[in-house]
Amino acid sequence: MLQHSPHIESFKLNSMMVIQVEDVLDLLAHIPSLTHLTIEADSVFFDNKFFLDMTSTLPSPAHSGSDEDTNTRGLLPHLKSLDLTIWFLTCSEEPDRKAPNPRLIVNMVESRRNIRQLQHDASVVPDPTISERPATTAETLDELCHFGIAAPVEDGNLLNVQEQGWHESLSRLLRDQLRVHIDRGLSCTLNLGPF
């Protein structure tokens, strides 16, 4: 069905019911042209698999040409904007309920920020005899420009110890690890309640 769909650049999923992450990841695999993604769902949707599958992998030197296989880049190789809202709606007593690993969230964002190019830029010493070369589109192509994450705490809902620890850990990691990317132009929006 999606093979003959128009070039889709923006997708928004807003679901308060439990949906299977595998179904959404399969759908996203069929729309590699996507540049803007917004997902609002229960915390059970955002499992570790979601963030692992959304982590971009750098292509090998053999695949650095314009005919690069999108499979070497992972899901949504052209993603520029990602907004996630995580609701803690599922009953706390469910034994399988687990918030995603905050480190995997940060790794996913960093993987989409052209880390190799950033590291190369920092290590290159400018040669005064050569005029500066302009930045090329290829250097910033496929770079995540905006990341937003919300895990709001509703009035009257008290977080359990695990949820509070998750909020604090995610807030600290995002603040510490994404600072360099924010300094280099990443727009980052956080709504983690009081954390």
What residue ranges do the domains of the chain occupy? 1-32+46-54+75-89+99-115+142-195
Residue 24 has pLDDT above 60, yes or no: yes
Which pTM was predicted?
0.76
Between 19-23, 58-62, 168-172, the lowest mean confidence (pLDDT) is in: 58-62
The residue among 191 and 90 whose pLDDT is bigger is 191
Residue 110 has pLDDT above 90, yes or no: yes
Residue 104 has pLDDT above 90, yes or no: yes
Rounded CA separation 147/82 (Å): 5
Nearest to 170 by CA among 12, 26, 43, 30: 43
- Yes or no: say if 92 and 161 are a contact pair by the CB < 8 Å rule: no
Measured CA distances, 107 to 19, 20, 137, 157 (Å) = 24, 22, 24, 29
- pLDDT, residue 156, reads 52
Residue 93 has pLDDT above 90, yes or no: no
pLDDT band at 160 (very low <50, low <70, confident <90, very high): confident
Give per-residue pLDDT as tens, 117-154: 544 554 555 555 544 444 433 344 579 999 999 998 76
- pLDDT, residue 61, reads 47
- pLDDT, residue 187, reads 96
In this prediction, residues 170-193 reach a mean pLDDT of: 93
